[in-house]
Amino acid sequence: MRVARLFRFPVKGFPAEEIPEADVRTGRGIRGDRVAAFTNGSLDIPDDSWHRYSAFTVLKNDTDLQKWQVALDLAEAADSSQPAVADPSATVTLTSPQNETTTFRTDDRDTRATSADFLSARIPPQGDFPRALSVADQGMFDSQAAGVSIINPATVAAISQTADGQAALAPGETELDPLRFRGNVLVDGLAPFEEFALIGKIVRLGGVRLAITQAIERCPATTVNPTTTAVDVNVPRVLASACGHLHCGVYGRILESGLVSTGDEIEIEGDAPRELVKTARTPRFMTVLGSQQICNDIVEVSLRDDQGWIREFDEPGTNLRVHLDLGEPFWRTYTITDVSDDIVSIAVRTQGKGSRAVAELAAGQSVLASGPHGTMTANRVFGGTTALVTAGIGITPSLGLMRGAELSGTEKIKLFHVDRDHRTACLWDRLQKRAHSRQIPVETHHRDTASQGRPGHADLVDWLAGCDNVMVCGPADFTRAVLDASAEAGVPAVHQEIFASPNTGMSEAIAQCSPAEVTLENSGTSFLWEPQQGTLLEALEARGLRADNSCRGGSCGTCAVSLAAGSVIYPVEPAARIAADEVLVCSAVPSGPISLGI
């Protein structure tokens, strides 16, 4: 593993400069990296202090920034072994797409003000406050603590070769350019996604020591082609559909200053202090502890979360995503059936090459996983009289919902399960035991379609009469039948679970849904949503309605709006956590008539 290329970004949001050697300082990052940032007018902030990225003109909000050119001249540096201080002086020249230039010095307020006026005349504002070129001792990074970002080009190449990646590439392109990901360090010698194994480790690059603290979530800045400057590939959407997450690259906190050059070896020195590593649901490697067949073609696989993050976010009803390399990135979502300390168990049906590969993982192997994910948690599903209605392997979400939840406010639980020849009898027995262990009345119904046939509409309406909440999971036709019966039975809240995957991606999962009326409370208007319109965000935009958004992949939470009535489903479960009465319109579709607070 070695350093292949080095970059710095003198002005936040503007293009990079490639450099052969980097002077890296604790508390400051690479000298010359993010020495200034141009405010966007949305906030009134001082020009000599750090602020969150939302106050600045950045590439994800103004993709024309990639058309500018940047040149940097650094004053003589102090001894790199000394504690971090601001760069003594940096002279920055910015050249517009029309070949007009402006130059400022970071330590000179007058030249910064002149250049800010120049930029204000050429870059649209996002508010009415005066705009400025801001500087800060630690640099103008997204986080207040400076650091170094590392990108693995092998991962970028693997993403490019997926069906989603190839479909998104512009004519003549064969793969994505790693420079889209705006990293400081590009590395050689790692397999695709192997950089995630560095999280929680201390690494040495030349004379620099870093603690690798987190995976990097990608934003719409990656949609910009660094060569053509065109907005041509929705990278967050490709990541979400092809990889099951929105992450590419890792971030390092600087422990020891020094110089790093292209060609330097990268060595792992040991574990980083736990307090430096960000606890998250992001991709990380887990160790397989073992597996056991629990009935027919269903295997329960146990994994140890080596980072110990699973217990921080665990809720009954969540699921785990397993990310594999089967010639190209591949992922599957599995219900979490049990969590004990750092050990998580998932139920895997051994159908399809992906699930067979998961079921066949040997004890001691490492596998990339993320989560727990999911919004259909016990605290949202249960209340009053609650029915869990499932078919086949769709029983696993019920099993997950019943583990460890307090179920406060729940007066009665109804369990309805349909399968053929009792193929999921082991899971049905376990579910009943969990339900009957509660101090809540339980009603159970099992139907074997081999001997009793499928339940008809009247059967389902009768089952669901008097329910306050219904959760349904099963094949598409079964789910539609339960949704229709719930509507006729007058069930106030229906929760639908869909597990998307590379073979049943966003578009395919949405295609399974039925049309629904969407009411916009603030305007009093409504429209008929249909599957071909895509997500709620896409349907709103097609009607000229603006909804705040950023990642468009369910990760940042920017697009959350109030869900005043009805319920939605998420074809691919989002990572962002929102309130129970909110919906992420970039990732959701209606499961029936809904009302949005917009």
What the block records as the tokens of 7 is: 């970059």
Instruction: Evaluate if residue 391 carries a pLDDT over 50.
Output: yes
pLDDT of residue 83: 45
Q: 428-473: per-residue pLDDT in tens?
A: 999 999 999 998 999 999 999 999 999 999 999 999 999 999 999 9
Instruction: Of 134, 89, 140, 96, give the one whose Cα is nearest residue 118.
Output: 96
Q: What is the pLDDT of residue 286?
A: 97
Give the span between the Cα atoms of 133 and 115, in whole angstroms. 8
pLDDT at 53: 80
DSSP 98: T
Cβ pair 375, 583 in contact under 8 A: no
Query: Is 265 in a helix, a strand, or coil?
Result: strand
Q: Rounded to the nearest 5 degrees, what angle is found at the Cα of 348, between the Cα atoms of 512 and 302?
A: 140
pLDDT in tens, 212-246: 999 999 887 888 889 888 888 888 878 888 888 88
The whole-angstrom separation of Cα 188 and Cα 137 is: 32
CA distance 129 to 43: 6
pTM, to two decimals: 0.85
User: Is it the case that residue 202 has pLDDT exceeding 50?
Assistant: yes
Distance CA 67, CA 227 (A): 9
Structure tokens at 525: 């208007």
- Ordered by where they begin, the domains of the chain are 7-19+26-134 (no CATH), 148-276 (2.40.33.20), 287-366 (2.40.30.10), 375-504 (3.40.50.80), 509-598 (3.10.20.30)
Tokens of 550: 């950023």
Q: State mean pLDDT over 51-69.
A: 89
Rounded CA-CA distance 554/568 in Å is 14
- Asked whether the predicted pLDDT for residue 308 surpasses 90, the reply is yes
Question: Percentage of the chain with pLDDT > 90?
Answer: 65
CA distance 459 to 172: 57
Strand partners, 287: 304, 366
- Helix axis angle, 457-464 to 476-489, nearest 10°: 60
The pLDDT score that the predictor gives to residue 248 is 96
* The pair of three-digit structure tokens given for residue 32, joined into one six-digit string: 């010359």
Q: Kind and range of the H or E element at 432?
A: helix 425-436
Mean pLDDT, residues 114-128: 95
Burial 425-443 (b: 16+ CB within 10 A, else e): ebbbebbbebbeeeeeeee
Q: Please check the confidence at residue 551 and state whether its pLDDT lies above 70.
A: no
Mention every residue, 6+ apart, whose C-beta is less than 8 A from residue 255.
26, 202, 209, 210, 211
Please state, in angstroms and rounded to a whole number, the distance separating the CA atoms of residues 598 and 591.
Answer: 18
Asked which of 248-252, 265-269, 353-357 is least confident by mean pLDDT, the reply is 353-357
Nearest to 185 by CA among 165, 203, 200, 159: 203
Q: Cα 63 to the chain's mean position, in Å?
A: 21
Phi, psi angle pair for 120, to nearest 5°:
-60, -30
Model pLDDT for residues 414-424, shown as the tens digit of each residue: 999 999 988 89
Amino acid at 453: G
Spatial separation of the C-alpha atoms in residues 371 and 338, rounded to whole Å: 14
Q: Give the residue-averaged pLDDT of 25-34.
A: 94
Q: Residue 522 has what DSSP assignment? A: T
Picking from 432, 487, 496, the residue whose alpha carbon sits closest to that of residue 465 is 487
Structure tokens at 140: 């103008």
Looking at residues 356-384, what average pLDDT do you find?
A: 93
pLDDT reported for residue 85: 46
**pLDDT computed for residue 500 by the predictor:** 53
Taking the C-alpha atoms of residue 218 and residue 449, their distance in angstroms, rounded to an integer, is 46
Extract the tokens encoding 512.
Answer: 């399974």
State the average pLDDT for the chain: 90
Separation between Cα atoms, residue 320 and residue 371, nearest integer Å:
5
Percent above pLDDT 70 for the chain: 95
The predicted model gives 64-77 an average pLDDT of 88
